[in-house]
Amino acid sequence: MVKMKFITFFSNFKILPREFRKFFFVAKNHFRFLKLNLIILLKLIVCYFDFFPTEKIKNVHSKY
């Protein structure tokens, strides 16, 4: 549905199909890049909590 709307929108401006494909390619790459950044951020957060888990620190203090 959305793609059809885009196609009609751009055909009204008579943009060449090649440029249209380029636009879609850039948009897809941009979204992929954003997804990669989000995944890296999530991994960093998970690693941070693995290195500094508050519960484990409390357990160690209670043991000694």
Query: 49-64: buried (b, 16+ CB within 10 Å) or exposed (e) per residue?
Result: eeeeeeeeeeeeeeee
Higher-pLDDT residue of 49 and 22 is 22
Whether the Cβ atoms of residue 15 and residue 5 lie closer than 8 Å to each other: no
R_g of the chain computed on alpha carbons: 24
Q: Residue 28: is its pLDDT beyond 70?
A: yes
What is the predicted pLDDT for the residue at 61? 56
- Range in 19-23, 27-31, 39-43, 57-61 the model is least confident about: 57-61
Average predicted confidence (pLDDT) for the chain: 66
Q: What is the percent of the chain where pLDDT is above 70?
A: 41
Q: Is the dihedral of CA 10, 26, 2, 37 positive or negative?
A: negative
